[in-house]
Structure 1
């Protein structure tokens, strides 16, 4: 994880929770609240609380439960409360029940897709051991870095969905959206700040300016 952070050029903090053992406890919620405050976060991104993996679900619940509470002074008072509730965003998923993911923000990442793949490849046990073993393809994983990067890029090179295209058109216009090959999309959580269109453009300066 720390190596992935280096490749992205960001600071990476890993909390002490073992795989498959994360629980949505008050203690863990307070940890999340403290971290969000320490970062003085403008944006917080988490999975939605409906997912096949309990760690993913509970991570979503913990972050969701931290929304709003990060501005309440008497909660975890040893770390000053934020003056404004951040914008909380859900990352994309394919799950349909109880409700499907609905993108509000779409970011064209064509220019940084290779960097994303390179950073993801730092999670070697995840992408080149566990997931291939799970799908019965462990023997097909390349040994050299170039082949692994190509394998990971191919795996992540999925066609953009209709809902993603509609969201891209909203932010980039029909012509630029049609040229997009890779995108990151987010759904705005109702429990955080509800940004205006202009606030979203300020938070994501890579979005084109409004004509």
Structure 2
């Protein structure tokens, strides 16, 4: 018989802030990024989130499960609390908000109850942009996060679905974060963002994910943990992690160079070292290129 561990505290949640003003005096954009675990949204969208936040826009990173089996030597409530705290620290460093849902790691299912949870979160945030995994991935929690967000793409505007939460008056733009899976079709980089200016901030933020970055997460081991610099040498830890992210983020820039050229022009694009990329989901609002520049206001204006 399988025994589920009781979770005493599993979530750190903040209410959606009021719409104040962006840096340029306009109404701020509202972006909500869904990851399956307390590290996924941070890894995939952390740089772009920092760019939005720097201009006064409001970003929320949501972990759809609590990560309570995402470590090789601990689990349950203590790990869930630890990972929620790590995720909150990353969000603080990026200038954004975080929330971790009370769903067991490895047990996410595309149920009606969970569809309602996702729909309500998007409505409460009054989202302009919604980001998630694609619904085909190596991890079932990743896949079902993508399915649940896709399933919400229409329902967020339907008045009598979750009728106690007001529906959105406009349908957000739904985006997928990048991956390398090829079937049923490979990721298409519709939007590619230069994150050079916030790369160091992203690395600094990710050092807070100690259980995953320095201890190896679910597939770690004592040997893998020993290979990372010790906790007593935080400067070495940061450089060790930075080297890993140089490889990861520069690979995105090289892979999606043509997308960088589209949005930044040839001269700028060839200088970009680090990038994050997004695909437009067919189920939400379909933006024009001009609308994309409004939603990603750090992209340069279209050259005449």
Structures share a fold, TM > 0.5?
Answer: yes
| CA–CA distance in structure 2, aligned partners of residues 20 and 151 of structure 1 | 29
| Paired residues of 2:253 and 2:275 also in contact (CA < 8 A) | no
| Residue 91 to residue 206, structure 1, CA distance change in 2 (3 Å) | same
Which of 292, 296, 301 is the aligned partner of 1:200?
Answer: 292
Which of 217, 226, 232 is the aligned partner of 1:139?
Answer: 226
| Paired residues of 1:68 and 1:85 also in contact (CA < 8 A) | yes
Please say if 1:180 is aligned against 2:272.
Answer: yes
Please report how far the alpha carbon of residue 135 of structure 1 lies from its aligned counterpart in structure 2 after TM superposition.
11
| Paired residues of 1:103 and 1:163 also in contact (CA < 8 A) | no
| Paired residues of 2:159 and 2:166 also in contact (CA < 8 A) | yes
Query: Which TM-score applies when normalising by structure 1?
Result: 0.95
Name whichever of 136-145 and 16-25 sits farther off: 136-145
| CA–CA distance in structure 2, aligned partners of residues 156 and 200 of structure 1 | 27
Aligned position for 1:4: 90
Q: Stretches of 4+ moved more than 3 A in 1?
A: 160-163
| CA–CA distance in structure 1, aligned partners of residues 263 and 253 of structure 2 | 16
Aligned position for 2:127: 41
- Could you tell me which runs of 5 or more consecutive residues in structure 2 were left unpaired when the two chains were aligned: 1-86
Q: Aligned pairs, how many?
A: 211
Aligned position for 1:151: 240
Secondary structure of the equivalent of 1:55?
Answer: helix
Please say if 1:120 is aligned against 2:212.
Answer: no
Deviation string, structure 1 residues 102-144 (Cα, Å, up to 9, x no partner): 1000110001001111112211111111247269632211112
Aligned position for 1:27: 113
Deviation string, structure 1 residues 47-69 (Cα, Å, up to 9, x no partner): 10111111111111111111011
Aligned position for 2:257: 165
| CA–CA distance in structure 1, aligned partners of residues 299 and 245 of structure 2 | 22
Please report how far the alpha carbon of residue 96 of structure 1 lies from its aligned counterpart in structure 2 after TM superposition.
1.0
Query: Which TM-score applies when normalising by structure 2?
Result: 0.67
Deviation string, structure 1 residues 169-192 (Cα, Å, up to 9, x no partner): 000011111000001100000001
Please report how far the alpha carbon of residue 163 of structure 1 lies from its aligned counterpart in structure 2 after TM superposition.
4.5
RMSD between aligned residues: 1.6
| CA–CA distance in structure 2, aligned partners of residues 69 and 62 of structure 1 | 11
| CA–CA distance in structure 2, aligned partners of residues 97 and 16 of structure 1 | 31
| CA–CA distance in structure 2, aligned partners of residues 35 and 134 of structure 1 | 36
